[in-house]
Amino acid sequence: MTQIPPTIPLQALFDAQFNASRAQIDVPLALRRDRLGRLRSLIETHAGALSEAIESDFGVRSRQLTEAADLFVLRAAIGQLQKELPRWMKTRRVATPIYLLPASAHIQRQPLGVVGVIGPWNYPLQLNLGPAATALAAGNRVMLKPSELTPHTSALMASLVQQSFAAEEFSVVLGGADVAQAFSALPFDHLFFTGSTSVGRLVAAAAAANLTPTTLELGGKSPCVVDASCDLNDAAIKIAHGKLLNAGQTCIAPDYVLLPRGQEAAFEQAYTAAVAKLFPTLAGNPDYAAIVSDRHHARLVALLDEANEKGARVVDVAPPALGSSAPTRQMNPTLVFNPAPDLRLMKEELFGPILPVLPYDTIDETIAFINARPRPLALYWFGADTSARDRLLGSTVSGGVTVNDTLMHVAHEGLPFGGVGESGWGSYHGESGFLRFTQQKPVLVQSRWAMGKLFYPPYGAAFDRVMGLLRRWL
């Protein structure tokens, strides 16, 4: 049974972190590495217990999925932080423009202070401890509020963090929406939120009251464009993998497919075969995760009911489908062909194993369709025709892209990860994450030989001569 740490009142915890951050502005490399080391050994030592906690939160979810999508990704991120930290922390010299010579200039990279992290439930280790690790690497104090929908995992994280960190260094705060609301009203130096677009709006508004800068990692409907030049069987298994990983409860899962008209039957066959290959059975198969809560399950069922009622063609994808009386919240993968745009499943982020398929006639049509909607978190393109690919990528804006696969851009620590527009703002992973939690302080060191006084009033002929000279130089 997880020991839940005694609760320190939110404001007192914030004050302790705030005071500690102001008492030690310069956080040396050794201390940052020590914090990352503690986090890493916490994860290594308790990987089994953390996986079990996730499994009991979901009801059905394999340890291998947690190993790949939570623990592996987290280890890779912390490993990169440990390796690159000395380089990323370094002061950057900046060349001085001619009109400021012989002054010198540099950029000093400093911690921001106290960073708040609010996280979701779908990959509870990666998406809570990942941003926390990056903020710690950048020398900050961190308060983390994980999701109430993964109570076992969140409580275990809180307990383990408390055993390895002082409260003013790194703390986990437990609670639901009321706690989250009070949390997001604290005057953090930065607030990092991962979750839905609707809650993201509330978080941004709460943070704005304190002029707290935010990073919003939100959701949305990520399109997957299948080009006529693509190998449909290869695309189908990659789309099925991206869609059905964690039963569709992945922020960058392909939300819907845009398919060349006339290929519907071939795609249905290829997708069905792909699902059967990935999941030879569904009921009780831990590789096929359950939907996280009854509320989320009911929402997805309602989306399908509406699609059925309004005449869309809904296909239950083999293998032996789960009946509606399945003892777990596992939900059948479905394809929905040609849904009307006013269906809820074409307006809301799906976050489940439902895949709408919309036929198109021209690339222009796909570009117009995507651009008429909020900018997506991810976009996928499948095909061999590179000019069609470049046209689509050059004509649409999305948080990130994977070509000829799904999800994979998130796993590349050298690529900034984040949304744009309604799918969020600000990116992290790698150095872009480090910089998200860093003040890049510009410093100009004036020289005693500086010419600045030439620009002082009273303005006269000397000033005009200098400006004339500069105009010719620049």
Binding residues for ligand NAD, rule: CB under 6 A, are: 118-122, 127, 145, 147-148, 176-177, 180-181, 184, 194-196, 199, 202-203, 217-219, 251, 349, 351, 377, 419, 424
Instruction: Write down the least CB distance from residue 62 to ligand NAD, Å.
Output: 19
**Residue 199 or 291: which CB sits closer to ligand NAD?**
199
Query: How far apart, in whole angstroms, are the C-alpha atoms of residue 42 and residue 467?
Result: 61
**Residue 181 or 328: which CB sits closer to ligand NAD?**
181
Query: How far apart, in whole angstroms, are the C-alpha atoms of residue 298 and residue 329?
Result: 10
Strand partners, 118: 145, 193
Instruction: Write down the least CB distance from residue 199 to ligand NAD, Å.
Output: 3
Q: Is the dihedral of CA 247, 253, 255, 261 positive or negative?
A: negative
Q: What is the 3-state secondary structure (H, E, C) of 10-72?
A: HHHHHHHHHHHHHHCCCCCHHHHHHHHHHHHHHHHHCHHHHHHHHHHHHCCCCHHHHHHHHHH
Instruction: Write down the least CB distance from residue 185 to ligand NAD, Å.
Output: 9
Instruction: Write down the least CB distance from residue 86 to ligand NAD, Å.
Output: 28
Q: Which H or E run includes 278?
A: helix 264-278
**Residue 189 or 217: which CB sits closer to ligand NAD?**
217
**Residue 272 or 423: which CB sits closer to ligand NAD?**
423
Q: Which amino acid belongs to residue 448?
A: R
- For the CA atoms of the chain, what is the radius of gyration? 26
The SS3 assignment for 413 reads coil
Please list the active-site residues. 217, 251
Instruction: Write down the least CB distance from residue 176 to ligand NAD, Å.
Output: 6
190's CB contacts (< 8 A; 6+ apart) are 112, 115, 116, 135, 140, 212, 213, 214, 215, 436, 437
Q: Which of 349, 43, 39 is nearest to 200 (CA)?
A: 349
**Residue 57 or 349: which CB sits closer to ligand NAD?**
349
What are 346's two structure tokens? 């074409």
**Residue 227 or 349: which CB sits closer to ligand NAD?**
349
Instruction: Write down the least CB distance from residue 335 to ligand NAD, Å.
Output: 21
Query: How far apart, in whole angstroms, are the C-alpha atoms of residue 335 and residue 332?
Result: 10
Strand partners, 190: 115
Return the residue nearest ligand NAD (CB atom): 219
Query: How far apart, in whole angstroms, are the C-alpha atoms of residue 367 and residue 358?
Result: 13
The SS3 assignment for 208 reads helix
**Residue 113 or 352: which CB sits closer to ligand NAD?**
352
CB hemisphere CA count around 85 (13 angstroms) = 26
Residues 260/357/408/127 CA torsion (nearest 10 deg): 160
Cβ atoms within 10 Å of 179's Cβ, excluding its own: 16
**Residue 96 or 196: which CB sits closer to ligand NAD?**
196
